[in-house]
Structure 1
C-alpha cells in the first residue's frame, strides 16, 4: 500500500522539476455554490498537467542499467509530455505510444520535450498493448501512467501542496482516469488530516471506477466516450484501486455537457484554460454531483490545461448552448420580398444577435411559396431564449430548436 512516507520522499525528488502550483479562491464559484471554492491550478504545471510529478519520481528510481536501456510508456497525452520532459532532463531516451486520434497539440508537445511519439490504437488500452510490445522487443523499461507506486507517490505531492496552502480544507475533489492522481492525493491528504473528504470524479462515458466499486472488483469497460480524453480509460489500475477503496470517500460521475460548461466558465470568469479532465472536478461541484454544505471549503483540483484548439472551439460552443448563450433554430416564412426583414426585426426587438442565416426555398417538407430559414443566434440565457421563441411563435413563426 502507498504510504505517506512515499509521497513525502517524492516531494524531494520532484522539487527541482515540478512547480508548486497556485491555489486561489474563486469569488465567482464561491458565490455560485455557497461554498468556499479554492481552485488548485495544476494546469499551470510544467507540461501543462500534473503528470510531470509522477514521471519525474519514477525516473529518479531507475537503476543505471535501466537508464541506459531507455523507457517506453503509453499515454493519451499528458503522461506522454511528463515522461518526455522528465526523461530528457535525466538524460534518458524515451519512446511514447499515443492513440492514433490523440490531440495533435499533445503529440507535438511530446516531441518538443524530447520524446519519440508513436501513434497506435484507437484508445489508451490499445496504445498500452503496443508499448508493451516495444518494451519486449527493445528491452526498454515500461513506465506505467498510473499503476505504479512511484508514479502515484509523485502525483501525491499535489496533495501535500493543497494541505500546505489550504489547511482548513474540508473536501478535495479529484478527477479519476487510471487512478494514480487520486491515489497519491488521497494518501497525502488523509495522512495530514483524516477528516478531510476526498471525492473522485469520472465522466459519465468513462465510469470504470464507479462500476468497479459497485461490483467490488475491477471492471473493464468495452468502450469509453467523453470529451475528457485525459481520463478516458477503460480500466482503473489495480494498485490505485486498492488505495481508492481504502482512502477515497466517494466517487461520482458528471456528463460531458457539465464538463463543457465548467471549461467555458473557467475561461470566461477565471481566465484559465482547462482541458476536459482538468475541468471535471469543478464540474462535479457546480453540478452538485455530491452533497456539500454552505460555507464548506472545497478544493477542486484542475489537473491539466492541454486542450487542442479545435476541441476547445467545440467545447466552448457546447458550453454556450448549455448556458443558453447560443441557439440554432429553424422556422418557415413566406417567400416574398421583406419576409426575411420582418423575421430579423423580431429577433432584433428581442435583443438577440444573429451570427448566421441560411435561407432555403427548396426544402422538401415545406409548401410552395414558403422558405425555410435557419438562424444561428447569440442569446443571454435560458429565459432570454424562451422569451425569443415565444415572441416568434406569437408572430406566427413555427420554431424548431436545432441546437
Structure 2
C-alpha cells in the first residue's frame, strides 16, 4: 500500500499533466497494434507513435509546456538550451510558435543535417565545445549572462508534465493496458508516464528500459540516489545520459515497477520489428522500449527461449519515442538485427589448409544459410574461417552446430557476443599472405537460395587451392563472392576453361588497386 505522500505526489503531477499546454503544436499520436509481433508473443502489443509528432519525437511536448508557462518578461529575453538531438528541435519549434527567440547550443561535432533541421524550425544555432557537457555548460552561462530561460531536457516539472500527456492519450486510446514499456534517458518521459498511470490506474505496471551501456536509472536505484556513470555508449544517442535527473528519479523511484536493460543488437532487432509491422524507421533510442518489451517476454537475450510467452493474452504497449535517425546508421542496424534475436551466429572455425576443407565444413552445416564467409590464406597447415550462420531455433541450434563441427575435428569459437569481432574484425579478415603466392582474384555472382553457397563450393572443387574467400549474404537475389586461387602460370589456360565450365557470372579482379594494396603479395 503506497503511503500518503507517494499518492499525493502522483496526484500533484496528474493535475500538472491535465493542465499542460502541449496541443498548440503537438498532436495526439496513434496507439497502433503490432500484429506480427503480437502473433509471435501471444499477447497484444501496441506501439505509441511519437515518431509522428511534427519534430518526429515526444520531446516537443515537454519543451512546449515549459515555454508556454514563461512570463512576458521571460519571453522577451528568450530561451536557451543545449542539445544535439530531439530536444533541440522541440525547443526550436516551440519557441518559434510563440514568437520567442531561442538559442540552441550544439557541440561543434554535430552533423550538418541536425543543425539545418534546428535552423529550419526557427532556432539560432550556436556551436560550442566538442561534447554535450561543454555545450550545456555554455548554454547555462548564456542563461546567467543574458537572462535567458534555460530549458532543461528532462529535469524540470513542466517538462515532465508535458511528457506525461503521452500516458493520458494512451489511457484514452486503450483502457485495459497491463504493462507499459518506456525508454529511459534522463528520465523525463518515464517519470511523467509513471506518475500519470499511478494516479489514475495504479495497477498498470511501468517498465523502464535502458541500454546496457547507459543504464543511469538502474544505477541510481541500486545506489538509492542519482549517480554519474563514468561513460555511456553512444549507439542509442537519444538516451546516452550519464546521470538521471533529480526530479525524474524521485518519481521513478516511487512509481517505476521494474527496469530492463538491453544490448545494441537487441535494439537493432526492435528497429527491424517496428519497420516490419509499421514501415516506420525508428531511431535506436526510439526502438529501445520495444527491445525491452521483447526481452521481458523472452523473445531475445541469452537464456530466454522464444515462445516462453510470460504474458500470454496480456495487452502491453511500448513507446516509439523518436524517428530522427541518421540514415547511414541503418547499415549497422541491418548488420546487427539478426544477432539481436539469436537468428544469426558468428563463429571462428579452424580448418585444415587442404583442398575440400571448406566443402566439408559447409556440408556439416546441413544446408543452413551462410550469411558470411571470410577467409585468407595464412599458413600451409591450417586456416581460420570467420563464418556467419543463420539460425531458426536460437541457442540450442547453435550448440548443436558447434558440437557437430567439433566432433568432426574443427576447432570452433563462438564470437556472437564479442563486440570487437562484430564491429571490426569481420571487416578486417584478410591482409597480405605470409609468403608469395601465384594468386589470381575473381568476383562471382550466383543465384541466392538456401544451400546456394554449398552448391557454389561443390562446383568450385578443383585442383587449384582457394587462397582467399569472402562472402556476405545481404538478402539480395544474387550472392556475391570474392575468391583467390593459387594458379601457376602454366595452368592459366586450363584455369580459363574451368571458369567457363563453372557457369557462374565472374570477373577477374587481380589488377584491382585495393586488392594489390591490402590483400595481394607484399611489394618488393
| Equivalent pairs, count | 395
Structure of greater relative contact order (alpha carbons < 8 Å, 6+ residues apart): 1
Report how far residue 108 of structure 1 moved: 3.5
Q: How does the TM-score come out when normalised to structure 2?
A: 0.67
Report how far residue 50 of structure 1 moved: 0.1
Cα pair 1:98 1:124 within 8 Å, conserved: yes
Aligned to 1:350: 367
Q: Could you list the per-position Cα deviations for residues 174-203 of structure 1 after superposition, in whole angstroms to 9, with x for gaps in the alignment? A: 111111112222232233323222222222
Secondary structure, counterpart of 1:264 in structure 2: helix
Aligned to 1:283: 291
Report how far residue 78 of structure 1 moved: 0.9
Report how far residue 223 of structure 1 moved: 1.7
1:155 and 1:344, CA in 2 relative to 1: closer, same or farther beyond 3 A? same
Matched, 1:4 2:14: yes
Q: Considering only CA atoms, is the larger Rg found in Structure 1 or Structure 2? A: 2
1:287 and 1:99, CA in 2 relative to 1: closer, same or farther beyond 3 A? farther
Q: Could you list the per-position Cα deviations for residues 24-82 of structure 1 after superposition, in whole angstroms to 9, with x for gaps in the alignment? A: 22223323333322111112222111001111111111222222222111224111111
Q: Which of the residues 190, 193, 197 maps onto 2:201?
A: 193
Report how far residue 145 of structure 1 moved: 0.6
Cα distance in 1, alignment partners of residues 356 and 292 from structure 2: 46
Secondary structure, counterpart of 1:262 in structure 2: helix
Secondary structure, counterpart of 2:208 in structure 1: strand
Aligned to 1:323: 341
Report how far residue 86 of structure 1 moved: 1.3
Cα pair 1:97 1:117 within 8 Å, conserved: yes
Aligned to 1:97: 105
1:33 and 1:122, CA in 2 relative to 1: closer, same or farther beyond 3 A? farther
1:355-370 paired onto structure 2 within 5 Å: 358-361=374-377, 363=378, 366=379, 368=380
Cα distance in 2, alignment partners of residues 197 and 333 from structure 1: 51
Q: How does the TM-score come out when normalised to structure 1?
A: 0.85
Secondary structure, counterpart of 2:55 in structure 1: helix
Q: Could you list the per-position Cα deviations for residues 240-270 of structure 1 after superposition, in whole angstroms to 9, with x for gaps in the alignment? A: 2222233333333333332222222222344
Secondary structure, counterpart of 1:84 in structure 2: helix
Aligned to 2:233: 225
Secondary structure, counterpart of 1:20 in structure 2: coil
Q: Which of the residues 32, 42, 45 maps onto 1:34?
A: 42
Report how far residue 359 of structure 1 moved: 4.5
Cα pair 1:77 1:103 within 8 Å, conserved: no
Secondary structure, counterpart of 1:37 in structure 2: strand
Cα pair 1:106 1:306 within 8 Å, conserved: no
CA RMSD of aligned residues (A): 3.1
Secondary structure, counterpart of 2:225 in structure 1: coil
Cα pair 1:135 1:142 within 8 Å, conserved: yes
Aligned to 1:135: 143
Q: Could you list the per-position Cα deviations for residues 138-178 of structure 1 after superposition, in whole angstroms to 9, with x for gaps in the alignment? A: 33221001111111111111111001001111222211111
Unaligned segments of structure 1, at least 5 residues? none
Cα distance in 1, alignment partners of residues 107 and 401 from structure 2: 44
Secondary structure, counterpart of 1:3 in structure 2: helix
Aligned to 1:267: 275
